[in-house]
A and B are shown apart, each in its own frame.
Chain A
Amino acid sequence: MGLVPLLIGISLVSFGMMFIAPGGPTSVFLASAHPMSPVEVAQIRHNLGLDKPWYVQYFLWLGNMLHGNFGYSFTDGRPVLTKILEKVPVTALIIGLSFVCTILIAIPTAIYSAVHKDSLFDYIATAIAFIGYGAPTFWLGIELIQLFSVKWHLLPDSGLTSIDATGLDLGDRIRHLILPVATLTFVSLASWIRFQRSSMLEVLGEDYIRTAAAKGLSRNTVIFKHAFRNALLPLITLLGLYLPALLTGAYFVEIVFTIPGMGYLGLTAIFERDYPTVMGTTVISAILVVIGNLLADIGYAAADPRIRYD
């Protein structure tokens, strides 16, 4: 039930920020390949309702949005929801793959680092994690393109498919996803590895772990059945905080690799002052984040039997 007020709050702040920002949608028409006459611009402005006060525009938009109507794009006239729904699967694919890769790499690395604290592996893993932590997403993506696409011609530099690809060419799709997913995964690894490592170290120092070891349980049983499960709980909490960052990172990756997802759509909409599309992507992004947090809460309850929600 808190979702609706949350979305209204987010939409109001976004709408207000767009209006505060200088420049408007009609300035795009003046700078088009064939500039329109200001008379036409004024007519279009009127047709789009841009000559109404901002709060009138907002409430009209809100009323339509609550009925599932996100309006039409100012720049191409297409329904905003159609444009977004075309892009959501692309963004979800990048996020999903990055998330899986992050988990598959970060957790075993963190466990091994924690169990072999201060070893060479621990130091190397920490160093790589901090490099990823400090590397901006867009910079890393560009560097990977330079290396793997431009210099070595090993992987494609942009898009989701080759121009010649027909149907669902899985191999072609995978080749195109390697660099974007690697970029997003690498910058995400740092926080996961460090967090899980710290959590493991904390748990490994607990009395019940010593007791389990003293009782003669195997090393693997102690680590994976007792320590890991308890060390996982804070990680699930991190998931809820991580999702917005993952979404933002995906948006940067889409822009660098020219992948037509929600980030690409949102960025061009901002530049074009395409208010309905900006609002639509903001609201949908907010919904995705809320859903992610909800899944994190459910996962937390599943992992810890002591946690129950009313």
Chain B
Amino acid sequence: MRHAPSVAAIVLAALIASACSGSNTSSSTGPQGGGVAAGKPHYGGELRIGSGAANMKTLLSLYANTQGDADMLGFMYDGLTNQDVNFKVIPWLAQSWTISPDGKTYVFHLRHDAKWSDGVPITSADFIFEHAVETNPASNAPYASDWSIVQSLSAPDKWTLVYHLYAPNAPFLSTIGSLPHAPLPVHVYGNVPPGQLQHLDLTKHLVTSGGYLLKEWKADDHLTMVSNHNWWHGRPYIDQIYFKEYLDDTATQVALQNGDIDMALQLGTPEWLALKNDPKFLLIHNYADVWDWWVPNLTTPILGDVHVRQAMMYGYDRVTEATKLFHGEDIPVFSPIPLAQKWALDPATLKAYPYDPQKAGQILDADGWKLGPDGWRYKNGKRLEVQTNLIAGNEVGSKDFELLQANMKSIGMKLDAHQIEFNVYFEQEAAGNFELDGGGFGGGGDPDVFQFLSSKSLPPNGLNYARYVSPKMDQLIDEAREATDPAVRAKYYYQIQELCIQDVPDLFDVAPYYRNVINKRIEGVDPSQTGSFFTQTVFTEPAWWVAQ
């Protein structure tokens, strides 16, 4: 029902929410002042959600690429598979599947009782159609490259789908179930030229497959959905969902306080601090599927030196950052595996690079960077100095940088900041016109690190903005992707993390919690069954109801 996108790298969410902080109480220790409600489930009522700075741009799952799209269209569209709150891939529109011993052939058996909102059964033809449209360059589909691993797709009958992959690919099961790859009704769009799909006005007769149906969409304002009484999963208790778009998190906070909305998509640090002691809310507080980092450009002379990067990590007081700047909410991490992906995370990484400015100095001394009379380090007449790009207007990012700058100053390294506009920031990062960038990344469903650590993902082919190249890492990444046994994959991911500690391809920083609140008038919420991002949080939403 709710899509946990396979590679939902919530970069923007990580940047904006990177200063998340709050209490250290994990929801897994039990709800605070609420939890599984005592009332009796009943049909009716409305759940009101505020967007924060995320907004919706489309009603078609194929084009979902903003956080608002991913979170709201997940109510309306179903995928082949889904993921539970522990990231385990579970049957959804596919009731079962088999994987060939070589890991290259997947056969999915569709459930026979799933229907489109107009009553037409969902069959393999809809999946074949979606694949054809998405891989057509004229359609402007944003995630067509996800299909590059699929050699062929066929449908022996209307309830069976066969995917042949070029090579085994463990993330495939979650990728294929993600929102942008949800099936499309061929009987509705089959005659529409792919280039025109994006321009259709779908506000009047949208045909969907999920637990909720579109009632009204006023772009840049709100979306209203009503429950699908014929949904194969069972009619949700809550009759209506109202999604209100706000321009920023502060407006969302005010709306929560005033009771205009029941929950947000997520909360930033200031909003969390303002709301967490409000007795009308149930708190959601889980490890997130994202982390923050500083991205060094490894092709530049200074940051291309692994000893400098190691020294920077020892000189960076991330504990103070987490406790003082992020109010004890964030956790220092040194891993490309999010905390939420417990099965693949090596706990030893949490102790990597403890704050030790003395050691940092020793490393730099040994590397030839000697302290000058002005307090900065020099080597062959060149000062140890790096310029950092920051997104203009990101107050938390600026404060974070100030802490890093002060730490680096104490070990003799000069950091300068260059604040640039959001769009320019990402363009320069992709073009390699930077020395050090701030940012974040996230998995969203699978800990696959191919996108940002493989040499095959060097720009312009991928998101390896650090320009990190390591044949050993490439091999480990490929092996982890091809192993379908989670225990085997975990071993590879442990080795990947060990290599990251050694090579410092990026300056891993802290990981925030996923924080949210839900008004207690929404009952049936079990915080232990909420997840690392919004779509996981509302995964069990059909079991929620509105108190009378």
Contacts and interface: CB of A to CB of B under 8 A. Distances in A.
B462 interface: yes
A163 B219 contact: no
Interface string B366-388: 00000000000000000000000
A265 B221 CA distance: 11
A78 B59 CA distance: 11
A38 B144 contact: no
Nearest to A270: B423
A162 interface: yes
A28 to B, nearest CB: 6
Contact of B219 (A86, A158, A162): A86
A29 B65 contact: yes
Nearest to A157: B254
A239 B89 CA distance: 64
Nearest to B202: A78
Contacts of A130: none
Interface residues of B, number: 66
B427 interface: yes
A32 B66 contact: yes
A31 B54 CA distance: 12
B486 interface: no
A179 B32 CA distance: 36
Interface string A7-36: 000000000000000111001111111111
A156 B261 CA distance: 13
A132 B523 CA distance: 47
Interface residues of A, number: 51
Given A30-B430, A76-B58, A260 B424 contact: no
A190 interface: no
A258 B5 contact: no
Nearest to B246: A258
B108 interface: no
B421 A22 contact: yes
Contacts of B257: 150
Nearest to B254: A157
A27 to B, nearest CB: 4
Contacts of B57: 75-76
Given A32-B66, A40-B141, A272-B423, 17 more contacts: A22-B423, A27-B425, A27-B426, A30-B429, A33-B13, A34-B180, A37-B463, A43-B144, A77-B63, A78-B219, A157-B254, A158-B255, A159-B221, A163-B242, A258-B251, A260-B220, A268-B55
8 contacts: A27-B423, A29-B142, A30-B429, A35-B11, A40-B145, A48-B140, A78-B201, A268-B55
Interface of A: 22-24, 27-40, 42-44, 47-48, 72, 75-79, 82-83, 86, 145, 149-150, 153, 156-160, 162-163, 255, 258, 260, 264-265, 268, 271-273
